[in-house]
């Protein structure tokens, strides 16, 4: 399974618009927003420059070979406070990530798990010692995907993976 990560660019915005409107994504990701091309550009243009609210954020399109299939972003967890309860001994070099497989042709075929594993190996572990995710508690598909990719539940709603040298 060949997975690649391409930095988000404005020509990817039509994919985001389509994926964010898909039922399986919309249920968990910005479900209260009706996305338009203008809203996508307003939110994600700064991401194409690696910034959100003056802080670093790194956004990518997940590709299976050359086909765009999803979205993934990471950031230093200390830059964007979360609602979830994090451990008191949070490693100084900790990332958080968010992702989804948007293309329905690639659901339930292992692409989510493969993407997470590859992303951590290629990008996260080159800079961070730990990575956190906080899926909705009833998003069973996401939780199973994170667990299959090596994330372990550390409290209600927070999962962590650690770099293993």
Domain containing residue 102: 3-162
What is the full per-residue pLDDT of the chain (165 aa) written as tens digits?
A: 899 999 999 999 999 999 999 999 998 888 889 999 999 999 999 999 999 989 999 999 999 999 999 999 999 998 887 766 677 777 889 999 999 999 999 999 999 999 999 999 999 999 999 999 989 888 999 999 999 999 999 887 788 888 876
Domains in the chain, number:
1
Dist CA 16 CA 143 (whole Å): 22
CATH code, domain carrying 62: 3.40.630.30
Dist CA 3 CA 49 (whole Å): 23
Q: Which residues contact 63 (CB under 8 A, 6 or more apart)?
A: 3, 4, 5, 6, 69
């Amino acid at each position: 399974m060949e997975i690649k990560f391409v930095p988000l660019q404005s020509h990817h915005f039509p994919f985001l618009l389509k994926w964010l409107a898909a039922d399986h994504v919309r249920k968990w990701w910005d479900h209260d927003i009706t996305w338009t091309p203008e809203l996508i550009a307003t939110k994600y243009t700064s991401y194409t420059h690696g910034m959100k609210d003056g802080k670093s954020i790194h956004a990518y399109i997940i590709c299976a070979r050359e086909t765009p299939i999803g979205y993934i972003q990471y950031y230093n967890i200390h830059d964007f406070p979360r609602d979830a309860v994090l451990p008191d001994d949070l490693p100084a070099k900790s990332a958080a990530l968010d992702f989804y497989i948007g293309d329905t042709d690639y659901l339930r075929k292992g692409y989510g798990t493969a993407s997470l594993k590859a992303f951590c190996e290629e990008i996260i572990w080159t800079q961070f010692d730990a990575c956190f995710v906080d899926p909705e508690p009833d998003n069973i598909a996401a939780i199973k995907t994170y667990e299959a990719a090596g994330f372990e539940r550390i409290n209600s709603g927070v999962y962590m993976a650690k770099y293993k040298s």
